[in-house]
Amino acid sequence: MRRILVSACLLGEPVRYDGTARTGLLLPQRWRDEGRIVGFCPECAAGLPTPRPPAEIAPGDDAGAILDGHGAVREIGGGDVTAAFVAAAHRTLAFARAQGCAWALLADRSPSCGSRFVHAGRFDGTLRPGLGLTAALLRQSGIQVFAEAGIPALAALVDDEKTRPPRR
């Protein structure tokens, strides 16, 4: 059975930069019952504290370039936290592989987990299309990544897996 990596903050754990959780996410109970859900916070795994200063991908940079060593993730005060976010992405990938995760359900808008949008790097609430570093690395490695709005599409994939004959 393939599993689903879920951002720990979406599971109610207070690990976001401001020490809160994202609440209100409704996951199918059957996923919990089947043991499919695996919670993980990339930023905590990389040793970033909770709470921590807000961080955003620098304007003009993108996750793929940063993973290749070009670009930056900066804190609101200007501190460079790129190395921690790159480490977070790689630790998440290793964990997802070890847990047998085929899919990831990640918190959108995050410089780690964003899968549709990330903050624009100006710390003014503006969003831009793009990926966070963890989402980008998981996708590059063949793990399908979904934002909260993608739960119905993810559910269809999980349900499809359950109705197919076992792989040989």
pLDDT in tens, 107-149: 999 999 999 999 999 999 999 999 999 999 999 999 999 999 9
* Residue 37 pLDDT greater than 90, yes or no: yes
pLDDT band at 24 (very low <50, low <70, confident <90, very high): confident
* pTM, entire model: 0.95
Answer positive or negative: Cα dihedral of 92, 94, 99, 100.
positive
* Residue 161 pLDDT greater than 70, yes or no: yes
Q: What's residue 166's pLDDT?
A: 60
The two tokens of residue 42 are: 């990339």
CB 126 within 8 A of CB 133: no
Q: CA-to-CA distance for 29 and 21, rounded, in angstroms?
A: 19
Q: CA-to-CA distance for 89 and 134, rounded, in angstroms?
A: 4
Q: Residue 50 burial by CB count (10 A; 0-12/13-18/19+): exposed, middle or buried?
A: middle
Q: CA-to-CA distance for 123 and 57, rounded, in angstroms?
A: 10
pLDDT band at 167 (very low <50, low <70, confident <90, very high): low
Give the amino acid at 6. Answer: V
Domain ranges within the chain, ordered by starting residue: 3-163
Q: CA-to-CA distance for 165 and 151, rounded, in angstroms?
A: 23
